[in-house]
């Protein structure tokens, strides 16, 4: 905890803002927009760094402690959690950043709508946190990533002013899409106060099919066969543990259509376990939350073209196997995303783990497979954070960051660039 | 608006354009250059600017107007119904009147439009000389001296023998009982270069139970004149054409429908009413003439005739499979007359024809009347993408319905050393009847 | 422009890539918004990223403003030249560079026409989903700049949902290669930020776009209504019932009559007050169920007749009519003002009626053809720009309609962009702080504000937040009335 951070925390507490001291830095939890503005302004005045968070469940993504002095105080939006507007007739939802995704999903379900993204552990995820991390759920297979459904946001900028972008309309091109820039900016540009999302119809019926394969390739071939069908699955997830690769296909929609689709998928998968409606819903939640099962193991995310998945998974297995590790995989094959978990004690010796991670990254790079740290020790995070700080893309990101936060009031956890 | 600008641009028509740009991608010259000023919308914009005295109609303006092929593809996609072809004819005529071309160009224009085209004798002499040059090899020797135009001349199809260059008889009886009669336009260049197409035309009509009659002294309809800035010449020839064909009547004294196997001529003749709209003496006759003008395919594809033709084809059928065939829409048939399905329907009637679709069949081949002579490089550039499409189609026979296109394709195919036969639709029909197909 | 700069540019793009004479430059003085006109200093037509970048470097050194232009079919003046500025057109960048059917993407040059992408990948059973009405002419580069929409964006979303990658030439002439298509961006979402930035962040020369599998089944319905109100109410109810067709369009009487008189005559009944055109796509059973859900709603609102397209040909004709509607208005008057407002879909009837009143009371001829499913209205006002009084009334009606939409929680533009046309109205929707945030993004990516200057952001707001010196050439431009 930095000295100045504690001092600020004390001041805030005196002003009646709730401050807790559980982790590496104090966490302030404002109860109003005015308090959010006050915190940002105060931090800016004192030259301190503020890290906007929700409940802090996604801090693994950015590891603020990886960069020294990156954060003096966390600003948790968890208390600002109400629904601002749910318009059932227009299919849109506006809520404050601290709203829990699970609660929002239940709210709109009452009006017959479905909230996307269907993120893991939705009751522990806030809207602001999901947007900050640009976290999509397995349902991106049908709906696309969360950034496609953010209709607008209101934010607090680093100078304490409140600014909006977009609106609450399902179609709107008025002004720059700053909400797209903020989505996934991990709190480095602004604090999100509230956001609007587009909603979808709650399906009449769901179905889930699960088939098991002895290796990644046949499982991915099956996924490919599903993709070739004239259907749009809600989610397709591949789960790989040891020699056991399970492909889960989730369907949702009109009753008759889902029944037909399930038959088709069953035909393609061969021997598959089939679940309907409530069973399918429960199974979907279970598979969605699988990542947690892998606990505190170090994890990476591989991002590549879908066609590169088989070789990405195989080479990762071979690479890890040669080092006595048995990686587990959780993939969304249609999106070209694989989360890799390394069970065991791979990370107990940080130095050798840094070497291992860098080697894996270099191994995958030629096939244009990107390796992002997901939950790794700070040292590994530091080693894997963007290395291409040179070049026009990094330049644009740096300039954006400097333009939106010239004084560096928001924490800079090695993102979007190392600098 | 000055007198000058008023006489240069058909301003009223230009106001129909709302600048939506849907025409852009259809335009061959826009595709070649990517220049807005070489697009239909751009040209209209420039015309309007001239009419509104915002710019002067300088050489650059004239060049953009000349660069246009007047294929009228833009008209086919224009939601506002802008009559681009008519606007272009107006402006070109005005530019030609105003411009002071060099004496040589003036002489060439005069010779071409006023001497050769309207005269059967001069046409014959010209084509004979060309044939002579081909046979003696003089053309091969002289071609390089003439640059690109020379190269084009060198790849010009062989002039047919004298025996083939005979006019049609005044009347060709129907095969079997005659159900009706029709007047057939022989055309100016057709009898000299494509007499076989004319013979195939009357042969096909006969098979469909139609007696063909010809206007003995008629030569030219004036389409080339209108497209190239000689509206006065075009009007004179239109009057002559109307007079010649009005003389062909049936037993009840009613004038015969006029069947045209050249898309460019047909499109023009159908618009005689507009051409002579300011001539009170001829206006009505011209409109009536236009109303009874029919393209060859349009005429034969009408249900009754098509039925009779199908019967004749079935009788003749040696259903030997033909070579893979494709059809290229002549601009003045599809865009000028809106005729697209009829030629395909006729081809469908012929047993054994396997019709392949040609990509962008509705885009211009670059012939565009005498454009290929006036702007050989541009014309070839336009044809190049068509040749690529032809190659990709895999067809061995290319069917068209316009002599200019036929000539252009034959030259291009020869230059590209491809092995594709170019035939007129009428030839395909006639061959199928006489079993002399492949 | 000085001789040396001109020569350098000419040596990069060659004779065929430069339009310098006054006559030809005049053809570039406006895009689809003919109200605004300005003569470009020069027009450049580079052939690829490299030529574009070299041109941009020269222009950067010379401090000359740049206006990107696709096919010039935009309706908000996004491609209107700026005084002393150079227009860079993409008309000679027309190559489809790659179609990857297994990973479902294509990489195309910016000047590729929207429909050409679908043509290029049709053989793989794929298509490019966003379908602006001008799709037969507009370019993908322009679509990206404006975040273009279209009827079927109701189901598939606007352009931004389909852009997977970009090659951007920056204002300084650097090449930013973000063309490799992956699920999530590495760092900030520059692609999402760039899409819809109206040419103010740079010039995209190559676009990686997502391809969508063709739907298994499509049904096209045409419902004929005795009133525009009833058609609007049907749409509101369809949305409230959470039915998900892929497109819901409304055409009113005047539009129907103009379309039926054109080459795109689709067989709409010319005596109908309004028609509703719907596409329902998806699995066969899904389509069937959705149609069954829609039919009673249409009946409840008193539809006179419901037609279903029998085959692909009829379907295409019905849609060609819709897509030719804008141009067909040329039959009514020489010019057309196309508004592009958006309202919550619960307010359709109210705002359509209000827009009609605003025009009627000003003696203007107005027609409606719009993306009802998205709440994206296009009140089209026919006029003659040679009549200055009428032009004034058109602009006043446009302003009144925009104000009314903002009042009910709507916005200024759903797919055409702000451009020059709605620039001043930005203040209705956004506070100075909102606009200042937008300007922060702009100065970050184009510190000299040389890319498409004077567009989108209202001028005073820009002046207020200006943080850096502006090169001399810019002052006159920014002071533009």
Which chain A residue lies closest to C287 (C-alpha atoms)? A257
B147 and B107 in a common domain: yes
Interchain CB distance below 8 Å, C23 and B23:
no
Angle between helical axes of A33-46 and A3-14 (0-180°, round to 10): 140
pLDDT 10s digits, C148-166: 999 999 999 999 999 999 9
Q: Which of A89, A306, A396 sits opposite C240 (nearest CB)?
A: A89
B180 and B140 in a common domain: no
Burial class (CB within 10 angstroms; exposed 0-12, middle 13-18, buried 19+) of B59: exposed
Query: Does C469 reach chain A within 8 Å, measured CB to CB?
Result: no
Give residue B44's domain range.
3-98
pLDDT for the residue B352 = 83
Checking if the pLDDT of C478 tops 70, the result is no
With touching defined as 3 or more inter-chain CB pairs under 8 Å, the answer for chains B and C is: yes
Q: What does CATH list as the number for C333-407?
A: 3.30.70.2740
> DSSP states of C132-196 as a string?
-TTTTT-BHHHHHHHT---TTHHHH--GGGGEEEEEEE-TTS-EEEE-S--SS-SSS-HHHHHTT
Which chain C residue lies closest to A335 (C-alpha atoms)? C183
**Smallest Cα distance from C127 to chain A, Å:** 14
Report domain A1-202+387-419's class. alpha beta
pLDDT 10s digits, A351-377: 888 888 889 999 999 999 999 888 887
Angle between helical axes of B425-434 and B303-316 (0-180°, round to 10): 50
B429 and B353 in a common domain: yes
Which of chain B's residues have a Cβ under 8 Å away from the Cβ of C91?
30, 34-36
Those residues with Cβ within 8 angstroms of residue B102's Cβ, 6 or more apart along the chain or in another chain:
none
The answer to whether residue B14 sits within a structural domain is yes
Interchain CB distance below 8 Å, C413 and A134:
no
Interchain CB distance below 8 Å, A183 and C346:
no
pLDDT for the residue A299 = 87
What is the percentage of chain C residues whose pLDDT exceeds 90? Answer: 92
**Smallest Cα distance from B127 to chain C, Å:** 38
Query: Are C73 and B21 spatial neighbours (Cβ–Cβ below 8 Å)?
Result: yes
Provide the token pair at C219: 């049904």
Interchain CB distance below 8 Å, C327 and B18:
yes
pLDDT for the residue C465 = 38
Query: Does C192 reach chain A within 8 Å, measured CB to CB?
Result: yes
Q: Which of A87, A155, A260 sits opposite C283 (nearest CB)?
A: A260
Band of residue A347 on the pLDDT scale cut at 50, 70, 90: low
Angle between helical axes of A350-364 and A309-321 (0-180°, round to 10): 150
Query: Are B62 and B113 spatial neighbours (Cβ–Cβ below 8 Å)?
Result: no
**Smallest Cα distance from C346 to chain A, Å:** 6
Average pLDDT rounded to a whole number, residues A384-406: 86
pLDDT for the residue B4 = 59
Query: Does B42 reach chain C within 8 Å, measured CB to CB?
Result: yes
Interchain CB distance below 8 Å, B55 and C45:
no
Q: What does CATH list as the number for A205-288?
A: 3.30.70.3450
Domain covering C3-89, topology: 3.30.43
Band of residue A62 on the pLDDT scale cut at 50, 70, 90: low
Domains C96-213 and C333-407 share a fold: no
Domain covering C217-311, topology: Alpha-Beta Plaits (3.30.70)
pLDDT 10s digits, C383-438: 999 999 999 999 999 999 999 999 999 999 999 999 999 999 999 999 999 999 99
What is the CATH number for B368? Answer: 3.40.50
Q: How far apart are CA B392 and CA A107, in angstroms?
A: 58
The answer to whether residue B55 sits within a structural domain is yes
Query: Are A27 and A76 spatial neighbours (Cβ–Cβ below 8 Å)?
Result: yes
The answer to whether residue B394 sits within a structural domain is yes
Q: How far apart are CA B34 and CA C139, in angstroms?
A: 12
Query: Does B58 reach chain C within 8 Å, measured CB to CB?
Result: yes
Query: Does C285 reach chain A within 8 Å, measured CB to CB?
Result: yes
**Smallest Cα distance from A276 to chain C, Å:** 18
B54 and B139 in a common domain: no
Spans in chain B with pLDDT lower than 50: 1, 437-438
**Smallest Cα distance from C15 to chain A, Å:** 30
Q: What values do phi and psi take at C255, rounded to 5?
A: -65, -45
pLDDT for the residue C351 = 96
**Smallest Cα distance from A399 to chain C, Å:** 5
Average pLDDT rounded to a whole number, residues A315-343: 93
**Smallest Cα distance from C253 to chain A, Å:** 25
Interchain CB distance below 8 Å, C23 and B37:
yes
Which chain A residue lies closest to C445 (C-alpha atoms)? A396
pLDDT for the residue B31 = 95
Interchain CB distance below 8 Å, C426 and A175:
yes
Domain edges within chain C: 3-89, 96-213, 217-311, 333-407, 426-478
pLDDT for the residue C471 = 39
Which chain C residue lies closest to A113 (C-alpha atoms)? C242
The answer to whether residue B273 sits within a structural domain is yes
Provide the token pair at A32: 């109003």
Domain edges within chain A: 1-202+387-419, 205-288, 292-384
Interchain CB distance below 8 Å, C23 and B18:
no
Interchain CB distance below 8 Å, C283 and A174:
no
pLDDT for the residue B228 = 85
- Using only C-alpha atoms, what is the Rg of chain C? 22
Which of chain C's residues have a Cβ under 8 Å away from the Cβ of A152?
none
Q: How far apart are CA C480 and CA C83, in angstroms?
A: 9
Q: Which of B21, B34, B55 sits opposite C73 (nearest CB)?
A: B21
Interchain CB distance below 8 Å, C330 and B80:
yes
Provide the token pair at C268: 């709409």
Pick from B266, B299, B332: which residue ends a domain?
A: B299
- Model pTM score: 0.94
B176 and B153 in a common domain: no
Interchain CB distance below 8 Å, C326 and B79:
yes
Peptide linkage before A49 cis (omega within 30 of 0): no
What's the domain count of chain B?
4
Burial class (CB within 10 angstroms; exposed 0-12, middle 13-18, buried 19+) of B259: buried
Domains A205-288 and A292-384 share a fold: yes
Interchain CB distance below 8 Å, A400 and C444:
yes
At residue A343, the 3 state secondary structure works out as coil
B388 and B403 in a common domain: yes
Q: Which of B302, B311, B303, B294 is nearest to B176 (CA)?
A: B311
Q: Which of B14, B23, B25 to mutate to test the interface with C (most CBs of C within 10 A)?
A: B25
Checking if the pLDDT of C474 tops 70, the result is no
Q: Which of C115, C149, C308, C246 is nearest to A232 (CA)?
A: C246
The answer to whether residue B336 sits within a structural domain is yes
Checking if the pLDDT of C348 tops 70, the result is yes
pLDDT for the residue C309 = 95
Query: Are B91 and B8 spatial neighbours (Cβ–Cβ below 8 Å)?
Result: yes
Query: Does C240 reach chain B within 8 Å, measured CB to CB?
Result: no
Query: Does C101 reach chain A within 8 Å, measured CB to CB?
Result: no
Report domain A292-384's class. alpha beta
Which chain B residue lies closest to C323 (C-alpha atoms)? B79
Provide the token pair at B387: 């040749």
Domain covering C96-213, topology: 3.30.465
Query: Does B385 reach chain C within 8 Å, measured CB to CB?
Result: no
Interchain CB distance below 8 Å, B25 and C326:
no
Query: Are B243 and B282 spatial neighbours (Cβ–Cβ below 8 Å)?
Result: no
**Smallest Cα distance from A243 to chain C, Å:** 27
Q: Which of C146, C243, C440 sits opposite A404 (nearest CB)?
A: C440
Checking if the pLDDT of C466 tops 70, the result is no
Which of chain C's residues have a Cβ under 8 Å away from the Cβ of A397?
187-188, 190
Which of A276-290, A383-397, B38-52, C182-196 has the lowest average pLDDT?
A383-397
Bin B388: left if φ > 0, else alpha if -120 < ψ < 50, else beta: alpha
Interchain CB distance below 8 Å, C437 and A163:
yes
Pick from B246, B268, B299: which residue ends a domain?
A: B299
Checking if the pLDDT of A413 tops 90, the result is no
Q: How far apart are CA A91 and CA A88, in angstroms?
A: 5
């Amino acid at each position: 905890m930095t000295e100045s951070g504690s001092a600020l925390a004390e001041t805030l507490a005196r002003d009646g803002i709730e401050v807790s001291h559980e982790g590496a830095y104090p966490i302030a939890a404002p109860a109003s927009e005015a308090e959010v503005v006050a915190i940002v302004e105060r931090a800016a005045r004192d030259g301190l760094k503020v890290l906007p968070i929700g409940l802090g469940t996604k801090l693994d993504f950015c590891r603020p402690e990886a960069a020294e002095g990156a954060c003096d105080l966390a600003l948790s939006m968890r208390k600002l959690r109400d629904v601002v507007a749910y318009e059932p007739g227009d299919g849109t939802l506006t809520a404050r950043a601290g709203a829990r995704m699970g609660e929002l999903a239940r709210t709109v379900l009452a009006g017959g709508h479905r909230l996307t993204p269907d993120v893991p552990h939705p009751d522990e995820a806030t809207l602001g946190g999901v947007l900050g991390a640009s976290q999509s759920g397995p349902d991106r297979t049908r709906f696309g990533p969360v950034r496609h459904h953010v209709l607008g946001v209101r934010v607090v900028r680093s100078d304490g002013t409140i600014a909006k972008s977009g609106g609450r309309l399902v179609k709107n091109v008025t002004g720059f899409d700053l909400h797209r820039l903020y989505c996934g900016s991990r709190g480095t540009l602004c604090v999100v106060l509230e956001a609007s999302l587009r909603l979808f119809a709650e399906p009449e019926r769901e179905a889930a099919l699960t088939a098991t394969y002895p290796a990644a390739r046949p499982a991915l071939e099956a996924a490919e066969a599903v993709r070739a069908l004239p259907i749009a699955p809600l989610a397709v997830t591949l789960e790989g543990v040891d020699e056991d690769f399970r492909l889960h296909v989730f369907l949702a929609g009109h009753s008759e259509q889902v029944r037909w689709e399930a038959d088709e998928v069953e035909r393609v998968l061969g021997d598959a376990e089939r679940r309907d409606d409530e069973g399918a819903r429960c199974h979907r939640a279970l598979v969605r939350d699988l990542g947690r099962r892998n606990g505190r193991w170090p994890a990476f995310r591989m991002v590549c073209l879908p066609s590169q998945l088989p070789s990405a998974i195989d080479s990762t297995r071979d690479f890890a196997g040669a080092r006595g590790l048995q990686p587990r995989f959780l993939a969304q094959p249609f999106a070209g995303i694989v989360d890799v978990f390394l069970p065991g004690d791979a990370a107990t010796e940080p130095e050798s783990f840094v070497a291992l991670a860098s080697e894996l990254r270099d191994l995958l790079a030629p096939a244009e497979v990107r390796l992002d740290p997901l939950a790794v020790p700070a040292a590994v995070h530091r080693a894997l954070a963007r290395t291409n700080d040179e070049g026009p893309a990094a330049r644009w990101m740096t300039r954006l960051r400097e333009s939106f936060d010239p004084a560096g009031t928001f924490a800079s956890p090695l993102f979007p660039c190392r600098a | 608006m000055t007198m000058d600008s008023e006489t240069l641009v058909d301003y009223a028509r230009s106001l129909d354009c709302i600048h939506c740009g849907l025409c852009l991608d259809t335009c061959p010259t826009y595709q070649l250059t990517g220049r807005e000023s070489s697009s239909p919308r751009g040209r209209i914009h420039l015309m309007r600017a001239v009419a509104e005295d915002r710019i002067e109609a300088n050489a650059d303006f004239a060049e953009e107007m000349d660069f246009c092929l007047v294929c009228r593809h833009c008209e086919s996609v224009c939601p506002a119904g802008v009559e681009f072809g008519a606007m272009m004819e107006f402006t070109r005529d005005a530019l030609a009147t105003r411009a002071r071309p060099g004496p040589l160009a003036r002489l060439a224009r005069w010779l071409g439009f006023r001497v050769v085209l309207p005269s059967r004798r001069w046409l014959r002499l010209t084509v004979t000389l060309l044939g002579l040059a081909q046979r003696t090899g003089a053309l091969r020797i002289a071609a390089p001296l003439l640059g690109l135009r020379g190269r084009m001349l060198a790849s010009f199809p062989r002039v047919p023998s004298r025996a083939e260059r005979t006019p049609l008889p005044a009347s060709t009886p129907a095969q079997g009982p005659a159900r009706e009669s029709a007047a057939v336009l022989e055309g100016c260049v057709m009898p000299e270069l494509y007499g076989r197409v004319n013979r195939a035309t009357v042969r096909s009509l006969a098979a469909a139970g139609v007696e063909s009659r010809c206007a003995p002294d008629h030569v030219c309809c004036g389409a080339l004149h209108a497209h190239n800035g000689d509206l006065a010449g075009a009007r004179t020839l239109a009057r002559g054409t109307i007079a010649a064909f009005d003389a062909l009547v049936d037993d009840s004294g009613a004038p015969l429908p006029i069947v045209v196997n050249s898309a460019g001529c047909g499109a023009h003749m159908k618009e005689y009413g507009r051409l002579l709209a300011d001539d009170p003496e001829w206006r009505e006759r011209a409109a009536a003439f236009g109303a009874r003008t029919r393209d060859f395919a349009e005429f034969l594809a009408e249900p009754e005739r098509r039925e009779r033709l199908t019967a004749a084809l079935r009788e003749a059928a040696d259903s030997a499979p033909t070579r893979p065939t494709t059809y290229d829409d002549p601009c003045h048939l599809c865009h000028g007359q809106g005729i697209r399905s009829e030629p395909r329907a006729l081809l469908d009637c012929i047993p054994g024809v396997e019709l392949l679709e040609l990509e962008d069949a509705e885009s211009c081949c670059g012939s565009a009347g005498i454009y290929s002579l006036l702007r050989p490089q541009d014309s070839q550039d336009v044809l190049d993408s068509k040749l690529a499409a032809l190659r990709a189609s895999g067809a061995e026979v290319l069917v068209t319905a316009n002599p200019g296109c036929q000539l252009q394709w034959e030259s291009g195919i020869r230059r590209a050393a491809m092995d594709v036969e170019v035939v007129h639709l009428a030839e395909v029909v006639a061959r199928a009847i006489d079993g002399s197909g492949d | 422009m000085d001789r040396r700069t001109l020569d350098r540019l000419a040596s990069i793009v060659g004779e065929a890539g430069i339009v310098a004479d006054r006559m030809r430059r005049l053809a570039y003085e406006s895009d689809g918004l003919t109200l605004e006109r300005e003569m470009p200093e020069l027009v450049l037509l580079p052939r690829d990223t490299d030529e574009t970048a070299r041109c941009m470097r020269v222009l950067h050194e010379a401090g000359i403003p740049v206006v990107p232009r696709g096919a010039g079919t935009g309706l908000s003046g996004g491609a209107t030249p700026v005084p002393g500025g150079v227009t860079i057109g993409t008309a000679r960048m027309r190559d489809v560079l790659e179609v990857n059917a297994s990973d479902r993407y294509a990489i195309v040059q910016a000047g590729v026409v929207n429909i050409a992408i679908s043509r290029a990948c049709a053989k793989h059973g794929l298509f490019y989903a966003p379908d602006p009405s001008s799709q037969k002419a507009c370019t993908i580069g322009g679509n990206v700049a404006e975040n273009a929409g279209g009827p079927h964006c109701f189901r598939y979303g606007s352009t931004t949902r389909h852009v997977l990658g970009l090659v951007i030439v920056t204002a300084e002439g650097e090449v930013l290669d973000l063309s490799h298509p992956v699920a999530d961006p590495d760092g900030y979402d520059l692609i999402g930020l760039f899409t819809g930035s109206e040419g103010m962040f740079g010039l995209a020369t190559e676009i990686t776009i997502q391809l969508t599998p063709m739907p298994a089944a499509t049904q096209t319905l045409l419902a004929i209504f005795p009133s525009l109100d009833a058609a609007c109410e049907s749409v509101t109810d369809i949305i409230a019932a959470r039915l998900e067709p892929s497109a819901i369009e409304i055409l009113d009487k005047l539009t129907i009559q103009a379309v039926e008189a054109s080459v795109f005559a689709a067989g709409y009944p010319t005596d109908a007050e309004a028609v509703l055109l719907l596409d329902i796509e998806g699995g066969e059973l899904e389509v069937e169920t959705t149609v069954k859900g829609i039919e009673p709603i249409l009946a409840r609102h008193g539809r006179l007749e419901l037609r279903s397209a029998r085959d692909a040909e009829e379907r295409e004709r019905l849609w060609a009519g819709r897509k030719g509607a804008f141009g067909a208005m040329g039959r009514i008057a020489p010019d057309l003002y196309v508004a592009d407002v958006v309202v919550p879909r619960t307010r359709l009837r109210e705002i359509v009626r209000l827009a009609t009143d605003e025009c009627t009371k000003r003696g203007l001829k107005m027609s409606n053809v719009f993306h009802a499913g998205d709440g994206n209205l296009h009140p089209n006002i026919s006029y003659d720009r040679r009549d200055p009084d009428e032009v004034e009334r058109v602009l006043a009606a446009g302003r009144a309609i925009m104000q009314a939409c903002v009042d009910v929680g709507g916005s200024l533009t759903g797919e055409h962009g702000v451009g020059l046309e709605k620039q001043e109205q930005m203040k209705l929707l956004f506070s100075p702080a909102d606009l200042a945030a937008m300007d922060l993004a702009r100065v970050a990516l184009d510190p000299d504000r040389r890319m498409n200057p004077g567009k989108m952001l209202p001028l005073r707001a820009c002046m207020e937040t200006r943080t850096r010196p502006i090169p001399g050439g810019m002052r006159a431009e920014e002071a533009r009335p």
